[in-house]
Amino acid sequence: MSQKQMKEAFVSNLNGTTILETMQVLCLPAPCVLCRGLLIVLLQHFCSSYTWRTQFFIDFVVLIVPLVATLTILSSFLLLEQLTIITFVAGLAYQIYCKRTYYARVPVQKIIENFLKTSVESEYIPAISCFRVTNHVFTAIAILAVDFPLFPRRFAKTELYGTGIMDLGVGGFVFGTAMVCPEVKRKSNIEGSRFYHLTKSLHSVWPLVFLGIGRLVIIKYIAYQEHLTEYGVHWNFFFTLAVVKLVTSLLLIIFPLNKSWIVAISIAVLYQLALDFTQLKRLILYGTDGSGTRVGLLNANREGIISILGYLAIYMAGVQTGSYLLNKRSHIKDWIKVIYCLLLTGISLFMCLYIVQANTEAVSRRMANLAFCVWIVASSLIFLSNFIVSDIILSFAKFLFKGPLVPCSWKLIQSSATTEKQSESLVSEAEKRANLCLITAINRNQLFFFLLSNVTTGLINLMVDTLHSSTLWTLFVLYLYMLTNCLIVFLLHLQDKTIKLW
């Protein structure tokens, strides 16, 4: 068996892990983001200025290091890791409360009452940025780690049915992209603007097609290992995303933005009915002749082409979520209601998932069936709500220190007593601090970070015998790989560079 065949077999025929364990993994990043924010609050209290190196070090150690450990050496100790981070967060929060410079002698109840009435900027929602960036980071780690024995096989992509951590990556990417699509960011009922969004989608699709073709050519040219049952022989995620963006733009011309959830449910249910009562499922699994042939364009790429229907449903659900989150909200108490709504919807969807799996079929990434769509949306809502909770706790810490400048977090609206001169100074300082942020850096160049991770993953696979790597060597390679990718996008951000193809 060749090295290529051995690597393909290493990531094939896997059945995933439990839904509970996937949720344990998803619940880890939010405490890390909160821990990072609280550290910056204390750092600014004791040190008025610090370099970009200090900020990058804090971001990398607190945000990246634990996530790599989660997918490798600490994969069997997820609860212990979470409790450790939460304990550390609680310690930082206690220190901030004790050293507060605002409301120093006011009862806790009064402090909380005033905090709930505090206004925050509504134009920017840090939780969405954290959701999308964390999904990219998890994906970047996993696409390389999966080729090493240290990566748990239960976390890898499933073959037919099951829930693996890596199965969340693509679905989360589609959901996160939908939350910030042009239609959501420029809400309007004007017909002309709807066709404008369609034009923009057409303009943004061609780079994805170009990237998909480029990836296909390179993969075939260097005979890189492939998992054919993921998308097929020629298809890849870039093609899926291009088609999904184009079709959803057409759908949003026909249907109102606030009815996207109806479209999402309709597509997912009708697709599942087609899988159950037609030959569609047999076509996906065994091809047109029932023997698993890969002859012909449809047979060669049947998983990638047909599963688009499932990703369309996920995208439309993301559009609905983004539209809901971007509604104008001025006070912290309004965002607590948002958390309640997201958690309630997420829990309800998990209950629906249990019913769907009991009465139809289990989650299948390969088919992107109804259970897969429900699982992705439910997990994404819980994931997102965790970040909003951490944002609110961090805002409370900033409230106790008269609003320290923490990048990628809500800006508290200053009281009327604040002078115009102080406000200008805060804005200037905020802009300076915003450049010292790994989350903002990755968020700014997400596609470039994704492409960079894919390229470096390929290079490492060509140079390193991943299948026979020791634990220490694996960790060294993974941390060096993530350090390189993160440092490159961080430096690009410091230079005010945005790498875009459209």
pLDDT in tens, 7-22: 778 888 889 999 999 9
pTM: 0.93
Using DSSP, state whether 72 is helix, strand or coil.
Answer: coil
Which of 300-304, 435-439, 449-453 has the lowest average pLDDT? Answer: 435-439
The total of structural domains in the chain comes to: 1
DSSP sequence for 117-168: T-BB-SS--HHHHHHHHHHHHHHHHHHHHTTSTTS-GGGSPPSSS-B-HHHH
Helix axes 308-325, 370-400, angle to 10 degrees: 30
| Assigned domain for 273 exists | yes
Place 195 in a pLDDT band, splitting at 50, 70 and 90.
Answer: low
Q: Are 364 and 161 in contact (CB under 8 A)?
A: yes
Give the per-residue pLDDT at 89: 96
- 465-495 as b/e, with b when 16 or more CB fall inside 10 Å? ebeebeeeebbebbbebbeebbebbbebbee
Give the per-residue pLDDT at 277: 95
| Assigned domain for 499 exists | no
Give the per-residue pLDDT at 403: 64
Place 414 in a pLDDT band, splitting at 50, 70 and 90.
Answer: low
CA-to-CA dists, residue 446 to 72, 176, 284, 491, angstroms: 24, 11, 31, 14
| Assigned domain for 98 exists | yes
Q: Are 367 and 283 in contact (CB under 8 A)?
A: no
Give the per-residue pLDDT at 63: 96
Q: Are 247 and 312 in contact (CB under 8 A)?
A: yes
**Per-residue tokens: 141:** 């780690």
| Assigned domain for 48 exists | yes
Q: Residue 320 above 90 pLDDT?
A: yes
Q: 433 Cβ partners below 8 Å, 6+ apart?
A: 405, 406, 407
Query: Residue 339: which of 323, 327, 358, 325 has the closest Cα?
Result: 325
Q: Residue 355 above 60 pLDDT?
A: yes
Q: Residue 434 above 70 pLDDT?
A: no
Give the per-residue pLDDT at 191: 46
Q: Are 435 and 145 in contact (CB under 8 A)?
A: no
DSSP type of residue 466 = G
Q: 270 Cβ partners below 8 Å, 6+ apart?
A: none
Q: Residue 461 above 60 pLDDT?
A: yes
Residues 365, 363: Cα–Cα separation, whole Å: 7
| Assigned domain for 500 exists | no
pLDDT in tens, 216-240: 998 888 777 777 888 999 999 999 9
What is the extent of the structural domain holding 203? 3-494
Residues 49, 427: Cα–Cα separation, whole Å: 16
Residue scoring higher pLDDT (18 or 2): 18
Place 207 in a pLDDT band, splitting at 50, 70 and 90.
Answer: confident
The mean pLDDT value for 346-366 works out to 96
Q: Are 398 and 412 in contact (CB under 8 A)?
A: yes
Q: 258 Cβ partners below 8 Å, 6+ apart?
A: 320, 323
Give the per-residue pLDDT at 193: 59
Q: Are 233 and 300 in contact (CB under 8 A)?
A: yes
What φ, ψ does residue 402 adopt, rounded to 5°?
Answer: 60, 40
CA-to-CA dists, residue 487 to 219, 454, 492, angstroms: 26, 16, 9
Which of 90-94, 199-203, 458-462 has the lowest average pLDDT? Answer: 199-203
Strand partners, 49: none
The mean pLDDT value for 127-153 works out to 95
DSSP type of residue 413 = P
Residue scoring higher pLDDT (104 or 390): 390
| Assigned domain for 160 exists | yes
Q: Residue 261 above 80 pLDDT?
A: yes
DSSP sequence for 355-412: HHHHHS----TTTT-HHHHHHHHHHHHHHHHHHHHHHHHHHHHHHHTT----SSSPPB
Residues 150, 135: Cα–Cα separation, whole Å: 21
| Assigned domain for 501 exists | no
Q: Residue 377 above 90 pLDDT?
A: yes
Residue scoring higher pLDDT (11 or 374): 374
| Assigned domain for 502 exists | no
Q: Residue 492 above 70 pLDDT?
A: yes
